[in-house]
Amino acid sequence: CVGETACGKSSLLDSLFNTRLDSTPATHENARVYLRKSTYDLFEREIRLKLTVVETAGFGDQINKDDSFKIIGDFIDEQF
């Protein structure tokens, strides 16, 4: 889930997993996109879920947005 700062990404994830995931609020003052990776162990009845969330702090906040997606695409490529 990628989007601009304060558009509701964290609220969506909190609602989907019925929990409050710890996340650091980002400001609109980032000069570039920063990725922050967090892993959570969630339990629902007898089901264990290991959830990894990668926050995209600063995405879409720059005046020139041409390279905003590049760091995200590079991260996804590195995972495979």
Mean pLDDT of the chain: 80
For residue 66, is it within any domain?
yes
Tokens of 36: 């922050």
Residue with tokens 């509701």: 8
pLDDT tops 70 at residue 24: no
For residue 1, is it within any domain?
no
pLDDT tops 70 at residue 23: no
Do the beta carbons of residue 33 and residue 68 sit within 8 Å?
yes
State how many domains the chain has: 1
Query: Domain of 45?
Result: 9-79
- Residue 69, C-beta contacts closer than 8 angstroms, at least 6 positions apart: none
For residue 3, is it within any domain?
no
Q: Could you report the per-residue pLDDT of 38-47, keeping only the tens digit for each?
A: 888 988 888 8
Radius of gyration of the chain (CA): 14
* Least confident among 13-22, 54-63, 66-75: 54-63
Of 44 and 23, which is predicted with more confidence? 44
